[in-house]
Amino acid sequence: MNKNLSRRTATLNDFILTLNIKAHSIKKYVEQIWGWDDKIQFNYHKNNFQPELISIILLGNIEIGYVELKETSESIDIVNLLISEQFQNQKIGSTILLSLTKLATNKKKILKLEVFKINTKAISFYTNSGFELTGETTHKFLMHKLPGAGKPQLTSVFSNWGLPE
Q: 19: domain range?
A: 5-145
Phi, psi for 21 (deg, rounded to 5): -60, -45
The answer to whether residue 125 sits within a structural domain is yes
Query: Of 9-13, 30-34, 137-141, 148-152, which range is least confident?
Result: 148-152
Does the structure show a pLDDT above 70 at 163? no
Check which CATH number belongs to the domain holding 110 and give it. Answer: 3.40.630.30
In a domain, 19, yes or no: yes
- In the predicted structure, residue 131 carries a pLDDT above the cut 50: yes
d(CA 146, CA 26): 26
Please, what is the average pLDDT of the chain? 89
Residue 23 lies in a domain: yes
Write down the pLDDT at residue 3. Answer: 64
User: Which tens digits make up the pLDDT trace of 73-84?
Assistant: 999 999 999 999
Q: In one letter, which amino acid is 160?
A: N
Number of domains in the chain: 1
pTM for this one?
0.86
Assigned domain for 162 exists: no
Whole-number Å distance between alpha carbons of 121 and 127 = 10
Q: pLDDT tens across 108-130, in order?
A: 999 999 999 999 999 999 999 99
**63: helix, coil or strand?**
strand
